[in-house]
Chain A
Amino acid sequence: MTRHSVADVSGLPTSGFGATSPMWWGTMAFMAIEGMGFALGVASYLYLAFLAPEWPMAPPPDLIPGSLVTALLVVSVLPNHLLDRWTKAKDLKRVRFGLLLMSILGALPLVVRWFELGALNVNWDTNAYGSIVWLLLGLHTTHLLTDLVDTLVLAALMFTRHGRSGKRFSDVSDNAFYWDFVVGTWVVLYLVIYWFPRI
């Protein structure tokens, strides 16, 4: 079989942002999977709650550490979006700064999370309520941790010569997008873990 050329693609760019980039779709897919995991975790929480004669089966968790984590995460959304904007402008200097900032803003909630675990007023092996609360927090902490590592690696990367490639900017943008997801899921979990037992 012979071939005949019908189109020339030589002028196309080699990287893009958002839905243009396959990596963005990969990130979306992982968010869907993890979002499903969270949804099922919350569903299990509610299932156990409706089954139990009384809920929570221990004093509800103290509000302060958890609310502080929430505040830190919500506030971080603003610099996160600035970073995304700088990324799309391919402003390397600002992107480096933004990544350093986001590394700190990613680490801070983890520090507070440590105190949050101490203020849950229940252990994972006390009863099913304790088990599901610890599972939800454990899942989310894993997300915080992996995204922090990802941010740190990207920050390091942007300070090397590899930082100049268009692909890297698109990676940083996807990472920022993912952070929004980590924050968004936490807001839901926060309401479930802290406010559902109080209503």
Chain B
Amino acid sequence: MTSHPADMTKDLRDTDLDDPTLDGILARTWETPRGFYGWLATVDHKMVGRRYIVTAFVFLALAGLAALAMRLQLSVPENSLMGPDLYNQLFSMHGTTMMFLFAVPVMEAVAVYLVPLMVGTRNIAFPRLNAFSYWVYLFGGAMIWIAFAFNTGAENGWFSYVPLAGPEFSFGKRSDFWAQMVTFTEVSALAVAVSLIATIFKQRAPGMSLDRIPLFVWAMLVTSFAIMFAMPAVMISSTMLILDRLVGTQFFNPAEGGDPLLWQHLFWFFGHPEVYIIFIPATGMVSAIVPTFCQRPIFGYQALVLALIAIGFLSFGLWVHHMFATGLPQLGESFFTASSMLIAIPSGIQIFCWIATLWLGRPILKTPLLFVLGFIFTFVIGGLTGVMVASVPLDLQVHDTYFVVAHFHYVLIGGAVFPLLSAIYYWFPKISGRMLDERLGRWNFWLAVIGFNAAFFPMHLLGLEGMPRRVYTYPAASGWGEVNLFISLMSVVFAASFAVLGWNVVRSLRHGIVAGPNPWNAGTLEWAAPSPPPPYNFLRIPYASHREPLWNDRDSLPVVSGLRVDARELLSGSLAEATPELRESSVDNSIWPLLAAIATTAAFVGSIFTPSAVVWGGLLAAIPLIAWFWPKGNPEDEE
């Protein structure tokens, strides 16, 4: 970096530079050096976001394979393919991976990539924390799957109830690996949440007051807050669990004054919001995609923002019934019913606003919009069965049967995976510079919608007939064999839709139509950057003149000037109005986040085997953390 003449002038500004010169200098300032080392040390939110997304899909594939193995076992009655022990591990690994390693991380991953672009800045806030978060996530996920390969995977379902998971009933290290996997993923999720909140609060482009923030960004802000207040609960409870198992604490042991219900309270304080932590970003994606394919602004922006915030709050309220239910059954029940009904109001407002936008616009039926329609359709069915589960007499009837399995797959796949697939088709051109193929996209869509509904709808019937969940087989006399075989076959169809997506991605990366900056003629700022965006995102920091700046002025983008370009610098502004306050430096690439993640991993994994690992692991982790913060004499450090 020292050889370029531009570096001779310290404190070079963009004001008087022409575009090609500016591009050259900014590219050098913000680049990730080529080669393996550069790849490991990068703090570019786009590279981190991309690998986050890819990794989350790898975990989706692994959990999907576990699901297919279960379906193979269940396809005929009294199947001897596997025993209960392996089956227990399979459904636990499937549920755990889907919830902790796929659904939450993938939403954060998309946000890591998109939010800085959408708010018009050059990198995420705390880029090294963000890089650290990815490595911790990767190592935690790899750890549990490697443990599974050695027959030490999770075995007590995705919520790992005590006493089943406690020291008396769960032998060996299986539950310890599960508990530490939770710690890993929560650390990484919290780190991303902090980075996103600071990015959204402080780094928005000038002009982007609160009422001009894109809805996906709003959704991620609410999600990040929900993560901040929900995840500590599961970290505390999994720490208690591992302490009970390793050093003989008595948190969940009734004989010594502990209480297994404490686990359930803490876990569901996290577990209820968790579903919304997955669902809120998905609705944000829909709110970003619908206006583009209607070529008109969203109907009811303010109502949608309020709905997002309301859902964020109410998602915690749902847990409170747990507490009420212990002492005050009557009040508890009505509170539960009330908050379930309350959350239906903001959800209903969202659906209404989307449908109104579709109604008022002229919808263009490209693949992203198809998936949105599939989402609305599936979600309504999921909502209906949800109302059924919420009614007490029926709940007693279907409790722990396949009805419940059907219900939550409708909510999770219909409510989160379909919007996610829509988002992949929508933003792939931004990330890769090429369009995904439309014909394959339609195949993908129809296989997914038909395969999904065909595989999961019959599970409602099985549940009503009394087939329990979490059983590795069932008697031939039950008469459930044919339906189960059908479900298993349709699961393969559903899985095939993901194979089509994979093929579409691989093919389009090479042969897809070149996208250009704004292939869908969308209105928000990420489409003002080239596709794929250069390391510095925007040649000049944009000025957000409008909620859809690119629709407001279609020929010329308002920008600000005066930023330093020979060092990594971006704009930081006020919370409400985004009035610029600082020329804020942004840290350079660094290998230390990776090394800190390795040290943290050693401490976490070590603590599964010996409590002393907390001490030496902590000391070990302190070294890279200090090195990470210590200034290296870059221009960024001297401001």
Contacts and interface: CB of A to CB of B under 8 A. Distances in A.
Interface of A: 1-16, 19-22, 25-26, 29-30, 32-34, 36-37, 40-41, 44, 47-48, 51-52, 57, 124-132, 134-135, 145, 149, 153, 157, 162, 165-167
Nearest to A171: B629
B194 interface: yes
B523 to A, nearest CB: 13
Instruction: Tell which of B247, B249, B539, B569 has the most Cβ of chain A within 10 Å.
Output: B249
Nearest to A125: B248
11 contacts: A2-B557, A7-B561, A9-B562, A10-B15, A14-B583, A41-B236, A44-B240, A135-B249, A153-B630, A157-B630, A167-B585
Interface of B: 13, 15, 125-126, 129, 190, 193-194, 197-198, 201-203, 206, 228-229, 231-233, 235-236, 239-240, 243-244, 247-251, 253, 256-259, 262, 265-266, 269, 517, 528, 539-541, 543, 554-563, 569, 571-572, 575, 580-585, 618, 622, 626, 629-631, 637-639
Given A36-B229, A48-B259, A22 B638 contact: no
A47 B251 CA distance: 11
Closest A-B pairs by Cβ, 4 of them: A10-B562, A125-B248, A131-B249, A128-B257
Nearest to A152: B626
Contacts of B543: 6-7
Contact of A44 (B247, B262, B560): B262
A39 to B, nearest CB: 8
A20 B581 contact: yes
Instruction: Tell which of A9, A13, A20, A34 has the most Cβ of chain B within 10 Å.
Output: A9
B258 A40 contact: no
A48 B258 contact: yes
Contact of A2 (B239, B262, B556): B556
Given A124-B247, A128-B256, A165-B638, A12 B269 contact: no
Nearest to B257: A128
B265 A125 contact: no
A126 B229 CA distance: 31
Contacts of B249: 124-125, 128, 130-131, 134-135
A36 B262 CA distance: 17
Contacts of A11: 562
Given A21-B582, A33-B190, A40-B236, A9 B560 contact: yes
A126 B248 CA distance: 9
B194 to A, nearest CB: 4
Contacts of B584: 14, 21-22
Given A40-B232, A40-B269, A128-B257, A48 B262 contact: yes
B228 A33 contact: yes
Contact of B236 (A8, A29, A44): A44
A161 B125 CA distance: 25
Given A9-B580, A40-B236, A22 B561 contact: no
Instruction: Tell which of B202, B539, B575 has the most Cβ of chain A within 10 Å.
Output: B202
B556 A1 contact: yes
B577 to A, nearest CB: 13
Contact of A165 (B13, B206, B582, B639): B639
B540 to A, nearest CB: 6
A127 B582 contact: no
A163 to B, nearest CB: 10
Contacts of B559: 3-6
A10 B561 contact: yes
A128 B562 contact: no
A5 B561 contact: yes
Given A3-B558, A6-B559, A40-B236, 11 more contacts: A1-B555, A2-B557, A8-B15, A10-B563, A22-B125, A22-B198, A26-B198, A40-B232, A44-B240, A135-B240, A162-B638
Contact of A25 (B202, B262, B556): B202
A141 to B, nearest CB: 11
Given A26-B194, A135-B243, A130 B583 contact: no
Contact of B266 (A4, A19, A40): A40
Contact of A127 (B243, B256, B262): B256
A13 B201 CA distance: 19
Contact of A14 (B13, B517, B582): B582
Contacts of A149: 622, 626
Given A1-B557, A9-B561, A15 B257 contact: no
Contact of A29 (B197, B235, B630): B197
B451 to A, nearest CB: 40
Contact of A5 (B203, B262, B528, B560): B560
Contacts of A36: 228-229, 232-233
Instruction: Tell which of A33, A48, A57, A127 has the most Cβ of chain B within 10 Å.
Output: A33
Contacts of A57: 257
Contacts of A12: 562, 571, 580-583
Nearest to B540: A3
Given A22-B125, A124-B247, A7 B197 contact: no
A128 B560 contact: no
A165 B15 contact: no
A14 B564 CA distance: 10
A47 B557 contact: no
Contacts of A37: 232, 235-236
Contact of A9 (B250, B258, B563, B637): B563
Given A6-B559, A14-B582, A40-B269, A128 B251 contact: yes
B639 A2 contact: no
